Structure 1
Amino acid sequence: MADGSSDVCRPRDLILWTSRSRFGSSSILFSALSLSGCSGPHSALDPAGPEASHVAHLFFVMLIAGIIIWSAVVAALIYASRKKRVYSEQSAGRVILWCGAILPAIILCALLSYGVWLMPAVRPWLPDDQQVHRIEVTGEQFWWRVRYLDEAGEVMFETANEVRIPVGQPAHFLLKAVDVIHSFWVPSLGGKMDMIPGRTNPLTLMADREGIYRGVCAEFCGQSHALMAFTVRAVAPDEHEAWLVERQVPGPRDAEGLAVFLKNGCGACHAISGTAAAGRIGPELTAFGERGTLAAGTLPHTQEDIARFISYPERTKPGVKMPHFGMLPEDDIKTIAAFLKELK
């Protein structure tokens, strides 16, 4: 209609309505995706240990302080924009001095002091009055070598890409690297700690409840940095002790699968306790069937994915040092995959 009444949908109105609807939908979707990262086994805002709880608490204190400061600044801007008043140079100077220098310095000093006061709890020392489990973790491109140590510091056994700790008891990690700088981070249990070649950095973590928590490398280390994950499984103390004892006794092996594994040279790089496979280059494969993922959290732990990774590991994990075995007979690859899947 020519009079522009509201019951007519003009093209311009339609475009505006569509753009606003899309913007609204996108905002809702973005908000939902953002909030979905605030919980789960990979979230620092869903703490499962005392150190992570202190980190989350510090984050919320800083967040609330930031919101209050931002709100005060916006309110001051709105108030100033509505006032019909011309400030003298002296008055403006006082506002700049107090609001631009003194108050921010006081607020930042208070927040920094709170953070420093909280620091001993955020990075706790190794306790002397509790049973402590010592675990050596070495970062390599692009996987994690995990060794469980006894009270004398001797290696009891070795595994890879997964860590088990008892609930309610401290786990003391000795963090190392052999090639480049890596960083050990389990967001739900605590903060990050760098792993530097030639150094051993200590880190003590403790889980308050049972569960499986995802860890990552938090320092760029090469092509497959994003594919270098691991899991921490927190279990009851009795279950953990039983597992430690069980893991030190080699289980039964599939003789045919082991023969094919050794025939194709896999034992030159990988070790399986109680067998002739004693390689130290690649991950330890003893009890490989217990693991929940393959290739440091990159693939599901299925027989098909194991066979695919053996054939062409570079396609799954660029930059990996393992050579491809796509030239092997298909039956051999399937046999090796089935053998590894059942290793306990």
Structure 2
Amino acid sequence: MARLFYVMLIGGGLIWAAVVLVLFYAARKAREPHSERVAGRVILWCGAIGPVIVLTMLLSYAVWLIPNLRPWSSAIAEGVRKIEVTGEQFWWRVRYLDEQGEVLLERANEIKMPVGQRVVFLVKSPDVIHSFWVPSLGGKMDMIPGRTNHIMLEASKPGIYRGVCAEFCGPSHALMAFFVEALEPSDFEAWLAGSGTAETDGASEGHALFLRHGCGACHAIDGTEAQGRIGPNLTAFGARGSVGAGTMPNTPENVARFIRHPSEIKPGSRMPSFGMLPDGDAERIATYLAGLK
């Protein structure tokens, strides 16, 4: 990037100097008017041929440098951490990968990454074009069906950074946020090592209702019979800060409301309505999910 900047700066400076020299020549030298033939040559060389040659050289150099401006291929080969993020309608599937590209664990709508280390995000989409963007950490990258794009981000200090979908993707496009939590490397490794199994109360009434009403067909909770892959993974759901990808605060009341009428809260949501549940069942399921840490 620095090399490209300085080459462009030098090229632009030379063009500017040439224009200034022509200005001084025209303003200071008392000369007879140029003939039409000479004027035509000046216009041809200075107005057409010269700029085309210079701009072609600068553009060619910039295009030649482009592969070096996207260093993820060498970064992946060198073992830089990889996180796969899939934009769904309208939430985020997050998978942490090992050095061989195998899935270590899957979460949803929240991402954790180590401070001071570059992370390669492999971004994709199964439905429509989304765009992955964490404004405080870097640029955006489109998530295109049938294609895996890459973007490298690095957090310089611990904190929570808000991300959004930056490409209109449907009626709940504006209700599709996510959060990136940057942790100290030791804390991140400890979290990753301790996230293989979930703290669940498999004997609770809420857990039984969760399975009885078919929630496990779409959602997965590690360490339980629920192993659905259609909807967001709900492991450690109680530790998340929001419901519905940043739509509402994560409270049992909001969770129960979302269970009963998801499309009213998030238009276009593919989760079916469970307004037919008996009184209290949605609340018990919500209480159970809140306890998943």
Q: TM-score range by the shorter chain?
A: 0.7 to 0.9
What one-letter code is carried by the residue in structure 2 that aligns with 1:327?
M
Contact 1:131 1:170 (C-alpha < 8 Å) held by counterparts:
no
Match of residue 122 from structure 2: 174
Looking at structure 1, the residues matched to 243 and 160 of structure 2 have their Cα atoms a distance apart, in angstroms, of: 16
Equivalent of residue 303 in structure 1, options 227, 252, 276: 252
Looking at structure 1, the residues matched to 58 and 99 of structure 2 have their Cα atoms a distance apart, in angstroms, of: 42
Gap runs ≥5 in structure 1: 1-53, 59-97
Match of residue 22 from structure 1: none
User: Is 1:242–2:194 an aligned residue pair?
Assistant: no
Looking at structure 1, the residues matched to 140 and 156 of structure 2 have their Cα atoms a distance apart, in angstroms, of: 18
Displacement after TM superposition at 1:252 (Å): 3.2
Equivalent of residue 232 in structure 2, options 283, 301, 307: 283
SS in 2 for 1:271: coil
Match of residue 333 from structure 1: 282
Contact 1:131 1:169 (C-alpha < 8 Å) held by counterparts:
no
Equivalent of residue 149 in structure 2, options 181, 201, 205: 201
Q: CA RMSD in A?
A: 3.6
Q: 1:313 to 1:129 in 2, by over 3 A?
A: closer
Residues 96-116 of structure 1 show CA distances to partners (whole Å, capped at 9, x for unaligned) of xx9xxx99xx99x999x9999
Equivalent of residue 272 in structure 1, options 209, 221, 232: 221
Q: 1:151 to 1:110 in 2, by over 3 A?
A: closer
Residues 230-267 of structure 1 show CA distances to partners (whole Å, capped at 9, x for unaligned) of 11111000000010111112323252211011111111
Q: 1:119 to 1:227 in 2, by over 3 A?
A: farther
Residues 95-244 of structure 1: pairs in structure 2 closer than 5 A: 126-127=74-75, 131-244=79-192
Looking at structure 1, the residues matched to 62 and 135 of structure 2 have their Cα atoms a distance apart, in angstroms, of: 21
SS in 2 for 1:337: helix
Contact 1:135 1:172 (C-alpha < 8 Å) held by counterparts:
yes
Contact 2:86 2:123 (C-alpha < 8 Å) held by counterparts:
yes
Contact 2:72 2:150 (C-alpha < 8 Å) held by counterparts:
no
Calculate the TM-score normalised by the size of structure 1: 0.65
Looking at structure 2, the residues matched to 121 and 231 of structure 1 have their Cα atoms a distance apart, in angstroms, of: 27
Displacement after TM superposition at 1:128 (Å): 6.4
Contact 2:241 2:249 (C-alpha < 8 Å) held by counterparts:
yes
What one-letter code is carried by the residue in structure 1 that aligns with 2:134?
V
Looking at structure 2, the residues matched to 115 and 212 of structure 1 have their Cα atoms a distance apart, in angstroms, of: 36
Displacement after TM superposition at 1:318 (Å): 0.3
Looking at structure 1, the residues matched to 123 and 66 of structure 2 have their Cα atoms a distance apart, in angstroms, of: 24
SS in 1 for 2:188: helix
Displacement after TM superposition at 1:186 (Å): 0.9
Residues 128-154 of structure 1 show CA distances to partners (whole Å, capped at 9, x for unaligned) of 696521111111100111111112211
Looking at structure 1, the residues matched to 229 and 174 of structure 2 have their Cα atoms a distance apart, in angstroms, of: 24
SS in 2 for 1:330: coil
Looking at structure 2, the residues matched to 274 and 181 of structure 1 have their Cα atoms a distance apart, in angstroms, of: 33
What one-letter code is carried by the residue in structure 1 that aligns with 2:244?
A
Match of residue 268 from structure 2: 319
Looking at structure 2, the residues matched to 220 and 123 of structure 1 have their Cα atoms a distance apart, in angstroms, of: 28
Gap runs ≥5 in structure 2: 6-45
What one-letter code is carried by the residue in structure 2 that aligns with 1:281?
I
Which consecutive segments of 4 or more residues in structure 1 shift more than 3 A? 113-126, 128-131
